[in-house]
Amino acid sequence: MAQVTWSSSSGWSAPKILPYSPLTLDPSASVLHYATSCFEGMKAWRGYDGNLRLLRPRYNCARMLASATRASLPGFDTEDLLNLIRTVLAIDGGKWAPATQPGSVLYIRPTLIGTGDNLGYKVPDEAMLFVIVTVCPTINPSTDSTAIGKKIRLLASDGNFVRAWPGGSGSAKISANYGPSLLAHHEANNAGCDQVLWLFGADGQVTEAGASNFFVIWRTAQGTLEMVTPPLGDHTILPGVTRKSVLELARAGFEDVEAVDVVERKFSIHDIITAAGENRLMSAFAVGTAFFIAQVERIRYGGLEINFSDAPYIGLLQKGMLDIVLGKKPSPWTDIIQE
């Protein structure tokens, strides 16, 4: 693991590479009382060619800087963070994702927390940034790319739970967004679902699926085939790196299938229900670092079960993304680790 400390008086210390071990914190540390914490999540993929790759890591580092600002934590040079991540992967990548095992995947979690020994309600005077790595299930390159994950079932949130709201922190990856959502997630699991479909407002606007971005494929009332996802404008949705990549791939077009319009706009659970009732609803999927691209099997909303069918676009997006991260298709999106 890597660790760097900061103080308001002396700034950032020199980074240290340490054995993975528990952290030592003062009981009055800011993070323990006021949730001054943010983090990132990214994956390193072992490619067909033996190289270990990150997907667009500068976006993750820039997002972490924005999250740090939102959580009143110190700023940092995003290139310094990226170089620290590269260093950790250069040391440990070959051990946990050997070059002889294409499809091996590592998850990287940079985290920044407020520390210090002052119980006062204020911006922290001290902080710690650390980077840890864990192993993910291997993706077998010889299998069909559509088999990288099971279909997921979503339980639409009711009025008792709201993940994010305008003026809040929903567009930042801060720890305070996640703890309060675990209760709804637990209830979804108890109801036989995998994640929560987060709705907002009296009209049930769709925002996210769990901690992932959400897409629907349907025909409009005018007959146009459309792939739609909620916009980022009101800052209630995390600007996902996988989301950005999927939008760009989809807008570049697909071969041998019907053209689809790719749109970012608000829509509600009632729009989904109406499309299902008029036989215009096709497929839905969630995208993110954890899910990658996961097809949605059904949504439960009150007493309704909204079912989705298969569409070729999801498999094409999965294949397109896998070809990039596993090195089958050269792309400027990837950052190769020098091991």
Q: Which residues of 266-282 are buried (b: 16+ CB within 10 A; e: fewer)?
A: bbbbebbbebbeeebbb
Please give the single-letter amino acid code of residue 174.
I
Residue 256: what pLDDT? 93
Are 136 and 106 a contacting pair, CB within 8 Å?
A: yes
Cα–Cα distance, 181 to 176 (Å, whole number):
9
> 74: which residues sit within 8 A by CB, 6+ positions away?
6, 8, 12, 68, 112, 127
User: Per-residue pLDDT tens for 67-118?
Assistant: 999 999 999 999 999 999 999 999 999 999 999 999 999 999 999 999 999 9
Which pair of tokens denotes residue 27?
A: 């009981």
Using a CB cutoff of 8 Å and minimum separation of 24, what contacts does 120-127 make? 121/34, 123/72, 124/30, 124/31, 124/36, 124/72, 124/73, 125/7, 125/8, 125/9, 126/5, 126/6, 126/7, 126/8, 127/5, 127/6, 127/7, 127/36, 127/73, 127/74
Residue 147: what pLDDT? 44
User: Per-residue pLDDT tens for 19-47?
Assistant: 999 999 999 999 999 999 999 999 999 99
Percent of the chain residues topping a pLDDT of 70: 97
> 38: which residues sit within 8 A by CB, 6+ positions away?
64, 67, 68, 70, 71, 73, 111, 112, 172, 173, 174, 175
Sign of CA dihedral 187, 193, 194, 196: negative
Percent of the chain residues topping a pLDDT of 90: 93
Q: What is the mean pLDDT of the chain?
A: 95
Give the pLDDT band (50/70/90) at residue 290.
Answer: confident
User: Per-residue pLDDT tens for 122-164?
Assistant: 999 999 999 999 999 887 755 544 445 679 999 999 888 999 9
pTM: 0.95
Residue 148: what pLDDT? 56
Q: Is 31 helix (H, G, I), strand (E, B) or coil?
A: helix
Residue 159: what pLDDT? 83
What CATH architecture does domain 152-326 belong to? Alpha-Beta Barrel (3.20)
Domain boundaries, the chain: 2-138, 152-326
Burial class (CB in 10 A: 0-12, 13-18, 19+), 62: middle
- Domain 2-138 classification at class level: alpha beta
Which pair of tokens denotes residue 249?
A: 């791939």
Check whether 166 has a pLDDT greater than 60.
yes
Are 114 and 26 a contacting pair, CB within 8 Å?
A: no
User: Per-residue pLDDT tens for 319-338?
Assistant: 999 999 999 999 999 999 99
Please give the single-letter amino acid code of residue 285.
F
